[in-house]
Chain A
Amino acid sequence: MVFSVYDIALFEHAVLRTAILSLAGGLLGVAGGIALTAMRLSTVRWLPGLGLVGAAYVQIMRRIPFIVTLYGLFFLAGALGADIGAMGVAIGAIGLIASAYLSEIILGGIRTVGPEQFDSALALDLPVWARWRHVVLPQAMRAILPPAIGYLVLFIKDTALASQIGVVELSQAGVILSSRGLPATPVFIVVLSLYFALSYPLTRLSRALEKRLALS
């Protein structure tokens, strides 16, 4: 069977939506993950609950199905009158869940850096930003980067659920075309192949980085 120009235009639109959702959600997750990690590592004396709040957020977010977060946020935005659109809600929901997972990865990476590294940076009297920028982070990155990119693949897969709040992304395009009467099997082979084309390079990159940056 042959896809018409309109079907191909729909696929183009849908792939773009899926890519934007994954990228924007992933970036939001990186920002949120860094913020959460900072909270969990914070030693600010007058805010002792900060670390606990960060840890609780991570524990809780990872135990709620993504679709429940998505529905909750969608109707919450409606109830609050926040006009951010279905795309905005989906990106926000991916950001919420991605923050939790990425915070675990970032914190894990920082913990691979031995305490003697922190101590020697202190002994050299480096200022705070230099301790992080020149001592801790370059070493932690080796343990952070491969799994973080691997998790991006997970967020690409989560974007499929955005179809449920009305975003016409890749899996929704498949549903639309098969409901329009096109044979479902070839339609979904195209859908799955497009997802594969987005995810597989990242999977490979994550694996290659893991090998190259392996902690010896």
Chain B
Amino acid sequence: MSGLDFHPVMLKLPFLLGGVGTTMLLAGISFALGLLLAVVLVIMRVDGCGLVKRLSVIYGTALTNTPQLSQIFALFYSLPLFGMTVSPFISVLTGMALNAAAYLAEILATGLRTVPHAYHDAALTLGMNRFQIWTRVLLPHAGRAMYPALSNHFQIMILGSSMASIFGVEDLTGRAYDIGTSSFRIVEVMSVTAGLYIILSFVLGGLLALLHHLVERRV
């Protein structure tokens, strides 16, 4: 081995750091979309009956027992067959959102179970309609219980967004791979990239904890 040389990586550090934005964007948007879909899935599971409930459970089981990468591959290769040509970024984003929805629905369902049934009955007694019961009683209460699990899953999605590099998206890992293959210093580039992910994870962890603290104080 001809020794480590970090010079080429340090030269390209601004370019590498630019990838953090794409990583955050990818994880952030797919998390938000996934959460929306998860809310729908959970409402189907809680309020729905028979087939509707079944569909939501099948969706969750199917997507949590298969790899996210294969799901994105399936989308990436199948969408054009249905006449949908979208950018790699959009395919990865869609795949990640669909995958996240399954896990987030699981988290939401567990969170909802922590809300005592009496709250639901009390809301009914007050004459709230279903929409009000969900937005004013169930979700706010469950939200508190599931915040740690949700922020944990967001961190998992930051790591998972690295798969986008396989499809040619220039996220942190994608840019790292570019620099690595053009400078032949992949080991050095990957260790710097790993360091960046670690820093990102600690910073985000801190910010999410701060957000939790602020929201808790206001409520």
Contacts and interface: CB of A to CB of B under 8 A. Distances in A.
Contacts of B73: 171, 174-175, 188, 191
21 contacts: A63-B159, A65-B161, A71-B180, A71-B186, A71-B190, A72-B187, A75-B187, A153-B65, A158-B67, A174-B74, A178-B77, A184-B78, A185-B78, A192-B66, A192-B71, A195-B65, A196-B65, A196-B66, A199-B65, A199-B66, A203-B65
A156 B61 CA distance: 15
A111 interface: no
A23 to B, nearest CB: 16
A159 B68 CA distance: 11
A175 to B, nearest CB: 6
A72 B190 CA distance: 5
Interface string B2-17: 1000000000000000
B201 interface: yes
B201 A63 contact: yes
Contact of A185 (B67, B71, B81): B81
The CB with the most chain B CB atoms within 10 A, among A68, A174, A203, is that of A68
Contact of A171 (B1, B70, B180, B190): B70
B70 A65 contact: no
A195 B81 contact: no
B133 interface: no
B197 interface: yes
Contact of B78 (A71, A164, A188): A188
A171 B190 CA distance: 24
A196 B147 CA distance: 29
Given A75-B187, A79-B1, A68 B197 contact: yes
**Looking at chain B, what size class is its interface with the partner chain?**
35 or more
Contacts of A199: 65-66
Given A79-B1, A195-B66, A196-B65, 7 more contacts: A64-B197, A72-B191, A157-B68, A161-B163, A163-B69, A187-B77, A203-B65
B154 to A, nearest CB: 13
Contact of B173 (A68, A171, A203): A68
Nearest to B1: A79
Nearest to B202: A63
B143 interface: no
B66 A157 contact: yes
A208 B198 CA distance: 35
Interface in B150-198: 155, 159-163, 165-166, 173, 176-177, 180, 186-187, 190-191, 193-194, 197-198
Nearest to A178: B77
Interface string A160-186: 110110000011001100100001110
Interface residues of A, number: 42
B62 interface: yes
Contact of B160 (A65, A185, A196): A65
A195 B173 contact: no
A63 B162 CA distance: 12
Contact of B198 (A64, A153, A156, A187): A64
Given A157-B67, A174-B70, A68 B187 contact: no
B146 to A, nearest CB: 18
Given A79-B1, A196-B66, A200-B65, A67 B165 contact: yes
Contact of B194 (A72, A175, A187): A72
Contacts of A164: 166
B70 to A, nearest CB: 4
Interface string A178-216: 100001110111011001100110010000000000000
